[in-house]
Chains A and B, each alone.
Chain A
Amino acid sequence: MRKRHILFIGLLAALLMALLFSFHAGTEGEAPASQAAQAAAVDSSSCVYPKEYMHTHHMQVLEDWKNTAAHEGPDAVHETADGRKLQKNLSTCLACHGSNRYFCFSCHAYANAQPNCWNCHISPLETP
């Protein structure tokens, strides 16, 4: 009885390992098709997502960008719904939004939300 249990658990573990490896191989196998984003003239009339979405979800977009950029480096490219390709980088955001130094701070001060972006990044308020 006990032996059969061990055999069963062993088989299950082997199956899990195989699954994990195949999954891992699958992700590796995909060719890094994306090229570095074209640093073409930035279209500042629309953001990477619709405005309403960005109002509520910008922090998650930024976190996703941070994580993918950290893993993929220059390959981290965001493709918008209308087909624009943008480098996942904070400076992509600031290319448009940096023109208003208080862009982040006016809302964040009002909502009393303190992000930790500027723990590492230089905030637009600190640049001359």
Chain B
Amino acid sequence: MKKVFIPLIMVALLALIPYVAVTYANMSYLFGVIIPYAAAFIFVAGFLWRLFDWLRRPVPFPIVTTCGQEKSLDWVKQNHLESPSTRFGAAVRVLSEVLFFRSLFRNTKAELHTGPELVYASSKWLWMGGLAFHWSLLIIGLRHARFFFLEPPAFIAALEHADSFLELTLPAFFMTDAIVLAALTFLVARRIRDAKLRIISLQTDFFPLFLIGGIVLAGMGMRYLEKVDILSIKALMMGLVSFSFEAPGEIGALFFVHLFLVSMLAIYFPFSKLMHAGAIFLSPTRNLANNSREKLHRNPWNKPGKFRTYAEYEDEFREKMKKAGLPVEKD
């Protein structure tokens, strides 16, 4: 249980730092301007560095993993989605993975029944929980555009409207807030409940979940409970995206907790397993086309070989070959 509680305590401490510093030491400039800029820089630079690091690695073999019939003779039906033979098909396959978690949809679970009898069955819970979590995060992220644009794009306003259409509270309750909390609870509980998963789970599995949970709770707290001055927040955010170093106005401490936790997430991101966000696009097992029988995949590690063609050989030894009575191609 240590590996569950240490990340939890770490997130609690991280949340406490800005709260104390802003409330009692008036350090809102540090937590409102300097740390967010530093975090954004580390996030962008770290993310690009990780992508560059992966991109410069050679791909020696076509190691695409498929689970469908590859392109073959005309009368063999190809599975275009699961075993694409073109770059476009591979892109579609990667996107279906990114947007709908296709491979997780095939998740199975083994259970030992009395008998003893080992039973494998489809298990969609992780797929559903993961999908709910990631899509909620995406929608919540897009909704935040209203703090970064003077006039956000129309589709974001429409998204916000759809998200709050239940009109439960005032300010209107966002469905995704509840969904992301439920999904987070499920993802944490899933790792704790099952003994097999508990053993393979690490602190680095729990920490991002708790951190995102802390961000969500701080954000919801600001919106629904402990109100903060939204005009000062918008002014600060508009300043940050236009690279100004103006000091933040009077904003509640909860906002700085939210912003600091987001900054910590941004700093943590490039150096953690959260990089799966960028890695999924660069996995050679997914982004390659399955056309190894159609095209030669050159191993970039191979040194350029020294070859001598038969024509060159014949040019050198033609006279000798003729004398010996050997057939030649050219006279």
- Of A55, A59, A110, the contact of B170 (CB 8 Å cutoff): A59
Residues in A with CB closer than 8 Å to B167 are 116
Chain B residue nearest in CB terms to A55:
B229
Q: Is B152 an interface residue (CB 8 A)?
A: yes
Whether B170 contacts A112 by the Cβ 8 Å rule is no
Whether A55 contacts B231 by the Cβ 8 Å rule is yes
Whether A110 contacts B231 by the Cβ 8 Å rule is yes
Whether A107 contacts B146 by the Cβ 8 Å rule is no
Whether A112 contacts B228 by the Cβ 8 Å rule is no
Q: Is A25 an interface residue (CB 8 A)?
A: no
Mark B residues whose CB is within 8 Å of A: 146, 150-152, 157, 161, 167, 170-172, 227-231, 234, 252
Whether B171 contacts A113 by the Cβ 8 Å rule is yes
Residues in A with CB closer than 8 Å to B234 are 110-111
For chain A, the bracket of interface size reads: 10 to 19
Residues in B with CB closer than 8 Å to A59 are 170-171
CA distance A110 to B227 in the complex (A): 18
Shortest C-beta distance, B31 to chain A (Å), equals 20
Chain B residue nearest in CB terms to A57:
B227
Shortest C-beta distance, B162 to chain A (Å), equals 13
Q: A63-B170, A114-B161 are in contact. List 11 more A-B contacts (CB 8 A).
A: A55-B229, A57-B227, A107-B231, A110-B150, A111-B230, A111-B234, A112-B152, A113-B171, A113-B230, A116-B167, A116-B172
Which chain A residues numbered 87 to 127 have a C-beta less than 8 Å away from chain B? Answer: 107, 110-114, 116
Chain B residue nearest in CB terms to A62:
B170
Residues in B with CB closer than 8 Å to A112 are 146, 151-152, 157
Residues in B with CB closer than 8 Å to A111 are 146, 230-231, 234
Which chain A residues numbered 21 to 74 have a C-beta less than 8 Å away from chain B? Answer: 52, 55-57, 59-60, 62-63
Residues in A with CB closer than 8 Å to B229 are 52, 55-56
CA distance A56 to B231 in the complex (A): 9
Residues in B with CB closer than 8 Å to A63 are 170
Residues in B with CB closer than 8 Å to A55 are 229, 231
CA distance A113 to B234 in the complex (A): 11
Chain B residue nearest in CB terms to A112:
B146
Residues in B with CB closer than 8 Å to A62 are 170
Residues in B with CB closer than 8 Å to A60 are 170
Residues in A with CB closer than 8 Å to B172 are 116
CA distance A52 to B252 in the complex (A): 11
CA distance A114 to B172 in the complex (A): 10
Residues in A with CB closer than 8 Å to B151 are 112
Shortest C-beta distance, A60 to chain B (Å), equals 6
CA distance A111 to B231 in the complex (A): 6
CA distance A52 to B251 in the complex (A): 11
Residues in A with CB closer than 8 Å to B230 are 56, 111, 113
Residues in A with CB closer than 8 Å to B152 are 112
Whether A56 contacts B146 by the Cβ 8 Å rule is no
Residues in A with CB closer than 8 Å to B150 are 110
CA distance A62 to B170 in the complex (A): 9
CA distance A116 to B150 in the complex (A): 21
CA distance A59 to B157 in the complex (A): 20
